[in-house]
Amino acid sequence: MPAYPLTIAALLCFGLLAHAEELRPLATESADEQDLLFSELPSVFSASRHEQPVTKAPASVDIITSEQIKRYGWRTVSALLGSLPGFISTYDRAYHHNGVRGFAPPGDYNTRILVLIDGHRVNESLQDYAGLGRDFLVDMANIERVEVVRGPASALYGSSALFAVVNVITQRGRDLQGVRLSADLGSYGTHRGQVSHGQKFSNGMESFISASHFYSDGRENLSFPGLGTAHNLDQEEVERLHGKLAWDDFTLSGSWMGRKKYLPTGTTGTTFGEPQTNYRDRRAYADLNYHHSFSADWDVTGRAFWDSYEFDDVLPYRAAGGPVTVNKDLWRGQWFGAELMVSRTFFDSHRLTVGSEYRRNFRQLMLNHDVEPYFLWANTRETSSIYGIYLQDEWTILPNLSLQAGARYDHYDNFGGTFNPRLGLIAEPFDGTTLKLLYGTAFRAPNAFESVYTCCADSTPWIGNSGLKPEEIESYEFVWEQRLGSYADLRVSPYYNRLSNLINLTVSPSEVRQFQNQGNAEAHGLETQLKGHYENFEGRFSHTYQQSRIAGYVAAPNAARHMLKLNLGAPLWSDKLFAGLEVQYVSSRATIAGNRLPNYSLTNLTLTSRRWLPGLELSGGLYNLFNERYADPASPPLSPDSISQDGRNFRLRMIYEF
């Protein structure tokens, strides 16, 4: 079984790290580079909305740096998350999906994970969709670090923060200080180009701007049992623009992303194999942030923002073998809002944080029509408002014992109010030992698509359900973090989650489709992670055990019982050539139809070369090195039960900075 060699390899590697004092490193790096890659990042922002040591954060936290992104060759945020304990990444040839802690039903567009960019909310206003694949708003090369905070966080962030908060922190002008040119070449006719410029000026102002273009032919032939083979229907094209301007206490940032993806699987109502079937997504935002620390431990943060999401598609279909009719969706969402947060320390032992947030969805438009002859099937127009207030107290009871308690109230136009608390008791009984006892609740508000979208009364009717209640989760978790000497850390996290009012798409005997609150779910599991580093070597090994139950399913779909993950980084030649190895084992999973997909093991290898010429960096990645054949469960309403994934493929990258 593939899991056993993986476990043995991990134990051998960490055994070497544990005796690192006796080893002579093969190469050395400058002190600055070692700090960048191996420093115990002393603080995390996203867990409590202010900087605090990771050991003080009321959550199980992982931090991924820009150097690790390079070393392991992650091409998407979805793949990065998939390398962490408790997360699984799947791909249905339309979008990348990430599940957490045994809850990963196909068709969930990352709505139960709150995704942030520099603290700005990414989940959009029509489906709460957060793109984590090629459709992410920022290029991987522009990411400085990613903070992943597990557990419910609605007590601070409101809707969608059920299982995790993922905050992607982007680079500043000082992180580049010049021009960066980047070019990629890969399998399936893939190519990518990017140009970036960053600068910190003598007056303290910083600017960063980046633009990129990506194109891939995709797989030439994709076969689906019972449907046939899709030929040249897997193309993808993505364009991005990202910028940031900072001066004194103000930061103005924004991004734009446009993506077009052809659908080899087809979708609802389409005829399989029609060549023009595609989705187009466009997402943009602008964000003005203010942060100032006053005397007497006062901190004030304010934010004003504007967001836009556009979706349209081309959905050709043939009725009874007749001529092709082209159906199109046209969805538009626009919203603006503001946040204000004030924090102060009282009596040297209480840090009190109070905040408020307001969002106005001033445009929620969902149209569907046939092109020729023209027929309007859906014309849903909506506006809505959301506001929330929250309070958090961090009480240092003793130097090695603290209690964090907080709660938030949110009000929505469509269903009213919801209240969500969070508690965390954190103790450090011994040097290097941290124990966390955590409890919290969170919610996901029914989105506009689920609540009001009504379409297609004469064919496959969709009926909005304005009476939907929010999904809710109640979570219990214990975290044990143990420092093992100077070179390794162990984290063990058992948890239990209970979900209620799950929102599911139902289909009546007369083919009427409607979202309804239908059933509950629960999951329990154990995450174990061992990390180590010595000089310019690093390693991370994790095992996830999880067991989940979802009402209406014999087996929870896409919920692997076991996941084993190994990441190793090491120098191969002085300070000029480095290797990053990633191995993942995922046990069998159920599909929506209840079939079982076999377990699989993936191995990815990335080589990175530097300093051969000033400013030049070369890298190459081999993905699915041993050409493992595997599939992911399909997302409804796609017709196949499972979607085959890519075999062995490669990427070459050249980066030049000056």
pLDDT digits (tens, 9 = 90+) for 215-255: 999 999 998 887 888 899 999 999 999 999 999 999 999 99
Question: Is pLDDT above 60 for 16?
Answer: no
Q: How many residues does the chain have?
A: 658
The single residue listed with the structure tokens 């990390």 is 531
pLDDT at 461: 84
Supply the pLDDT for residue 519.
86
pLDDT band at 107 (very low <50, low <70, confident <90, very high): confident
Task: Using pLDDT thresholds of 50, 70 and 90, give the confidence band for residue 40.
Answer: low
Q: For 113-272, list the strands marked E by DSSP.
A: 113-117, 120-121, 143-150, 164-170, 178-186, 190-200, 206-216, 221-224, 228-231, 236-247, 250-262
pLDDT at 15 over 80: no
The answer on pLDDT for 11 being more than 70 is no
**For residue 594, what pLDDT band results from cuts at 50, 70 and 90?**
confident
Three-state secondary structure call for residue 21? helix
Element (H, E) at 547: strand 537-550
CATH number of 3-657: 2.40.170.20
Percent of the chain topping pLDDT 70: 93
* Burial (0-12, 13-18, 19+ Cβ within 10 Å), 613: exposed
* Confidence (pLDDT) at 460: 73
Would you say residue 59 has pLDDT above 80?
yes
Where residue 13 falls among pLDDT bands split at 50, 70, 90? very low
| pLDDT value of position 300 | 95
Note the pLDDT of residue 638: 59
In the predicted model, what is the mean pLDDT of the chain? 90
The least confident of 161-175, 319-333, 587-601 is: 319-333
What does the pLDDT read at residue 223?
A: 87
CA 625, CA 418: separation in Å to the nearest integer?
48
Supply 74's token pair.
Answer: 């992650």
Single pTM value for the model: 0.92
pLDDT the model gives residue 25? 34
Q: Tell me the pLDDT tens digit for each residue of 369-392.
A: 999 889 999 999 999 999 999 999
Q: How much is the pLDDT for 9?
A: 38
Per residue, the 3-state secondary structure of 358-403, as one string, reads EEEEEEEEEEEEECCCCEEEEEEEEEEEEEEEEEEEEEEEECCEEE
Give pLDDT, residue 404: 96
CA 105/CA 140 separation, integer angstroms:
26
Contact criterion met (CB below 8 Å) for 240 and 255: yes
Tens of pLDDT, residue by residue over 492-517, are: 999 999 999 999 888 888 888 899 99
Task: Encode pLDDT of 543-561 as tens digits.
Answer: 999 999 998 888 999 999 9
